[in-house]
Amino acid sequence: MKKDILLGVSAFLLGVALILVGLPTSGLAAEPAPKSIKVGVLISMTGPDFQLGGPAKTGYEIAADEINKDGGVMVKAYGKKIPLELVILDMETNPEKAIARAEAVNTQNVPVAVGTTLVGATADIFEKNKLPVVSTAMTINAIMDRGFKYFFSLCGLNSDMAPLVFEPFAALPGGMPKKWAFVEEQTDFSMEFFGFAKEVAAKRGITISYEGRYNMLAPDLTAPLTGARDSGADVLFTFTTPPDAITMLKQSAQLGYKPKAQFFIKAADDPAWGRLGAMGDYAIGCADWHPALKFPGVKEFNATVKAKTGQVSNPNTGPAYAAIKVVAAAIEKAGTLDRAAIRDAISATDMMTVVGHVKFGPKNERTKPVRPVIQWQKGTMELVWPADQRTKPLVYPIPGR
């Protein structure tokens, strides 16, 4: 009996010693690998943002399926590949519900999350819970300026977009149109964007011939449109929802206002815009992504989207797909499901994706994002910028104007 006790104590002390020096142990219980790596997904499948949430969901799912077909993500701590499992929560295009969903996803045993638009309203929650999240379709600089450690933006911000929107016009044979009407929706992201746009316009010698403001989903926009018309603005420029943009088109026609260009950021970026037919033709937008961009894997990704949905890739599918690829690469790099380690690995991201090269700056913002400018031509969303990747040149002025 005494001999057995001594042998047991010796074996225990040997096991402890092996653990301390980092050598493999035998016969000691190890923490089992989880059946899946849960990835939180915050999107709006209902409410005004549902047209963005559905395509984003498709992008997330395609990326997870591709990774899982190869066995999942290699996690060094467990010495094996583990498949991804998407935990999808609907934000319902409601800031309060988005915050509630961010708290809920924290309880789902997820080491990392992704999300769209209103996930920006939840940045404080992710920071408090030390849960890394990679956002897409979130353009607000003010959020990134707060210096969150766990919140990352994969898409370009307003400060990136503001200089970009003028580039296709600057390349026109006749030069930049000089009179622009800025019609500003009274929302945080729109007002911040136009703050940057005014700085760029001043540097380019552009005259803001009219500056009007309106509230989202206002039924009557004749006042700002009349102001734009009477100022002689060549370009009607706004950052707006599809319903408000349609109201502007209809009421501009009633007022006899025929600007030479109509720039509807956000509204014209929605593929549903093509259903407007001739009324929506030649509208310009600045989408998060375009399926004609010439980055590695885009062609194959487009084919997968077509096979899955029967439709052409949506501007929101590409960034969502890239977000899952980024977090999967970070998990593998971290070699663990520890949130802080994954956060550090995301911060060190340096990889090529279907949205181009992804690298994050000191505020977790994406550095040098490629954000395309698009124009609707004969019912097709054409890529008009960057110039070296365009499918069609910018049409200016609108024919007949």
- Boundaries of every domain in the chain: 37-156+293-359, 166-285+373-389
* Distance (Å, whole) CA 197 – CA 184: 11
Q: Is the pTM of this model over 0.85?
A: yes
**Predicted pLDDT of residue 47:** 85
**Predicted pLDDT of residue 30:** 60
275 secondary structure, DSSP code: G
The DSSP H or E segment spanning 280 is none
Helix and strand counts by DSSP (H, E) for the chain? 13, 16
37-156+293-359 and 166-285+373-389 have identical folds: yes
Residue 332, Cα to own-chain centre: how many angstroms? 22
First to last CA, the chain: 102
How far CA 117 is from CA of 139, 189, 271, 324, 328, in Å, comes to 8, 11, 17, 16, 21
Q: Which amino acid is at 399?
A: P
**Predicted pLDDT of residue 50:** 84
What is the fold of 37-156+293-359?
Rossmann fold (3.40.50)
Q: Can you give the length of the chain in residues?
A: 401
E strand spans, 303-386 = 350-353, 356-359, 373-377, 380-385
| Domain 166-285+373-389, CATH homologous superfamily name and number | Response regulator (3.40.50.2300)
Task: Tell me the sheet residues that pair with 82.
Answer: 73
314 secondary structure, DSSP code: P
Give the SS3 label for residue 196: helix
| CA-angle at 382, arms to 378 and 383, nearest 5° | 165
> Taking a C-beta distance cutoff of 8 angstroms, is the pair 369, 164 a contact?
no
> Taking a C-beta distance cutoff of 8 angstroms, is the pair 218, 244 a contact?
yes
* Distance (Å, whole) CA 251 – CA 223: 10
Give the SS3 label for residue 371: coil
**pLDDT tens, N- to C-terminus, the chain (401 residues):** 434 444 443 444 444 443 334 434 333 346 799 999 999 999 999 987 888 899 999 999 999 999 999 999 999 999 999 999 999 999 999 999 999 999 999 999 999 999 998 999 999 999 999 999 999 999 999 999 999 999 999 999 999 999 999 999 999 999 999 999 999 999 988 999 999 999 999 999 999 999 999 998 899 999 999 999 999 999 999 999 899 999 999 999 999 999 999 999 999 998 999 999 999 999 999 999 999 999 999 999 999 999 999 999 999 999 999 999 999 999 999 999 999 999 999 999 999 999 999 999 999 999 999 999 999 999 999 999 999 999 999 999 999 99
* Distance (Å, whole) CA 84 – CA 98: 23
